[in-house]
Chain A
């Protein structure tokens, strides 16, 4: 069935209170660190103080002998795993690398890399035990910067890493894991046709996802080997699969329970602590709890990749793009697997360009392994391309939105990375920006306005959901995707709409791995689309059953029953004359009409609609301090159908906020020895609430016909345009082009001074 007609909807599109709201507001919701068990031990992790070093030996004897210590583990407690690539979450994952990232084997590859862990009867004893572990390191030369890591004489992290994708195959190992390329048309022809060209280089810094909840877990391995894991993650099935692989146990012997999650943004699509706690629990015979502190989160868990972006654009004099070239160098961190692929594919997705050539490099260096972060890869390349589009527009004296309008990809456009678009709403976002009242607001001195666009694929994938009708006519919706942004509310709303009952009579839960069918993790902006599709189908199956039961009670054919507003009606005069039967009445008689009424659906959802966005940003620059104030921000996005508009707005506002942090202040600062100098929120500067205006989220509803309600993923594309939008606004305000992120006050002041030396002081 389709519910694409918005005017017929009663629940979808409204803004009810979220089912998990009260517990979160009063502080009672159970997050990863809230779980406790009788007899539980406390685990702590010893981390490398070196960016790159060989582990000559680890002596754990003194730690193990400390009273209260029950287990000490190193890499020796884990089975060696063969290299095996899997595509999970939002990026590639190699199981061997994942194991090695969770606990160092032979070498440490970054400051903060775990080398050992202990479990003890109190956190203080565990802490003390860490000091008693003696690790003998041979410190090796290290490399932090992506281009330094690509040099021929750079210290090599992995002596078995040979660049993939180059011909001939290299004979020497290097830090370049992979070279990839995408081509459309003939780039040489494109440059011949181009009447105007522009070539620029941009850089971005790695940024952390900045979730408020640090990683935390409790793991209990029973005497029979049965294992239960409580943890905060973006996917309990992901936790189960990885732990099974890393510890060498059967999946059926692990039950993973999803805790409430205090933010993930992609950073909790992999594991760090669970295998360590599992090994400690197995060794000690007791449940083990490990909670990271903030410093560990910064030193040990994945940021988004930093990058170098070289862009070349060619256009006709009327502004039509004819050629585009892109070179990307992405930091992967200590192991291969940066999101350079999506970076390549997203960069020009908004535009219809006949000749395109894209090359990307995946490069390892002595930093934490990167993890997915909202639209992984896209913000980097888009910062370059969308800044360069602005530079081209200004060079050609074309309005930046008009330049995007005349080059916009439409239904039928073939993208540089292959697909031919259908049902896309990019041009609509540009036109909505052109019509937005924001543009008519006058700017003052030192103020400027910038625009930028963005694209993200969004995915579907495997999801399971069940819908159970309870005896009193309420419904329980069971799903398998952790609720990271209000998805439980959306699931309940879609089920309520299908069942025709009030939202308040549907209770959604996120179930553990033994209580619902397999569900791929929460990522790729897929849950409202894919799991929402499973929930809708489960509710539809229930409606079929409800009609059957009504038909049985009335003794007519099920085809002669209509379902409307939560009641069964005879389909027409020929069906007979009966009083409507409510869901509640049918539920009450379920035992006598064939038993409980419920349905479970497992699907691999196809047809996710891509996300498109155009943003407008106004800034004011304090030219004496270099500080940028965001005055006004409008984010326009094709959202398909906003199931719960408040949570769609929340996703847009959150993504923009993180993008502004990425633009202005967030960066990792390493000292000369490769140690992280700012592992905390004091000196790693995410925006605070008072830094930002209310972000105006404009939702364009261009329904996705492949989803029953028309939903498209909304969570990721909002982080794509902000960096360029801010940079373009700063240029508009100052005439200074900032091509290297972050555009922090010292850098902007230095750039302003370089452009216009200050007058000599009167006193000199």
Chain B
């Protein structure tokens, strides 16, 4: 093919297709991870959904296969707070699939805290899950990805880009802890670092910074908070989890074959003003 031959270039549908690819989605049964897992499956990827709650992962995988006959998905036990569990999980995912092409890091858990209330233990645990766990997962997965022109997609956050407005949070029960933004900013920079250092191995690394996607429980418990979140955002509303599907497919597929080291914000405009 000549350098520019639009008549012969791959179609958009072909570029976005994940047929023949396998994805390991860590945190794949969570609020955003589920949507991403479904999106990858819809593009015909085989999806391994890994998480601490293996039952929930299996359940989500069954849902995928029920919704899409012919789709291949399964759950996998993996606790990203435990280095042994990460290594075992990555090995198991590679064994089950004969090697995966896509790694999505979507795992997260943490306690609500203010700067005043957060303890050393809370801080350490949050960083352990949100940053150290991602590092260890990537380190374990790179040998698998390196032979397959792999891609890594990390889920960061708007709070890795800007600070929360304390006025949005009326009590420490809902407060976004300082550890969260620090870990997520770390993810953004780790993404850039790895984009540079893994490029020679043919691995692309990008991240998504979601805006406000509060849990449904928060929406029910604290509608006033949701109103404040919506009012602060240029688009005037919180995000709908399915609004991450498009960007996840873009960044995991050949449609983004010349993108690496980027942070794509999906935040309703939160960080533009």
Tell me if chain B binds chain A.
no
